Amino acid sequence: MPSNQVWGAVFDNHLKLWISTSKGLVKYDPERETVENTFYESDGLPSNEFNYFSFSKSSTGSLYFGTKNGFTRFNPENIRINPYRPRGIITNITVNNQPLEISSEGFLKKHISFLPEITLDHHQEVFTLGFSSSNHWLTDETQFEYQMAGVDRDWVKAKSDRRFTTYTNLDPGYYQFRLKAANDDGVWSVTPIELNIRIQAAPWNTPLAKLLYIIFAFGVLYFIYGEQRTRWLLKTNLAVERQEAIRLKELSAFKNTFFTNLTHEIRTPLTVILGMTESLTEKSKHSLKRLKN
């Protein structure tokens, strides 16, 4: 609906509802709940603004509506709809508010309307697509719908005075922009045109870079593990060496004590024997002296 201000409504012989508003005359299909057509001054109306409750229907099926500049009369049976189905056309692209120039060395090899796909760098984060249609009759009433697959959940309507759309901060990946157009009588394109858009990842955000990050992380973890293991082995070896030194010291002390005691035990009997031997020797000497005398 061109306006929420409804001044009148009447059914034609085919049960289509004709609605007069403050911004045009609307043909509405109640069964499908859709607006079939909208008519303006450019279609031959005296004015886009209608009068309140100023409408009528004749016995022949003709409809009458009063406007600010007089009344209009027509028979819906005599209205011919433009059957031409226009094709949407992508006319230009701007990146970071700068037109993307055609260059054999750049991202745009030829005019964008002839390209099935374009590739943008990671820093080209803001881009605008301009569009038009192949309909050259009453172009001010041309309608557009577009959708960026992966971004727009539904089709977005665009009026003829806003023939562009802007996208910002899209993640690296593949997208598809779709565009369809309708002529002045609301006849839409059979199939939308499609433009595949690839946004490259930053060098530090590519799969190879991520793989290198993982390898580096594992390398750091392995290095830390190696350092910790080396320290643990060093501490363990030091502890073992301390225990071995203590054991050797205790063993040495035990040996000293053992041999000291053993020497003492052996020395005591020998001393007794030597003492007895010396005593017997002295006695023998005294006995020999007596015999000689």
For residues 39-50, average pLDDT: 90
* Contact indicator for 229, 221 with CB cutoff of 8 Å: no
DSSP label of 140? G
* Contact indicator for 87, 179 with CB cutoff of 8 Å: no
How far apart are the C-alpha atoms of 155 and 145, rounded to whole Å? 6
* Contact indicator for 95, 120 with CB cutoff of 8 Å: yes
Q: Is the pLDDT of residue 20 over 90?
A: yes
* Contact indicator for 43, 137 with CB cutoff of 8 Å: no
* 200: Cα separation from own chain's centroid: 13
In this prediction the pTM is: 0.61
Q: Is the pLDDT of residue 292 over 70?
A: no
Burial of 33 (0-12, 13-18, 19+ CB in 10 A): exposed
Q: Between vectors from CA 136 to CA 131 and to CA 140, what angle results, nearest 5°?
A: 70
How far apart are the C-alpha atoms of 24 and 43, rounded to whole Å? 10
Give tens-digit pLDDT for 161-206: 789 999 998 888 899 999 999 887 788 888 999 999 999 887 777 7
For residues 137-141, average pLDDT: 72
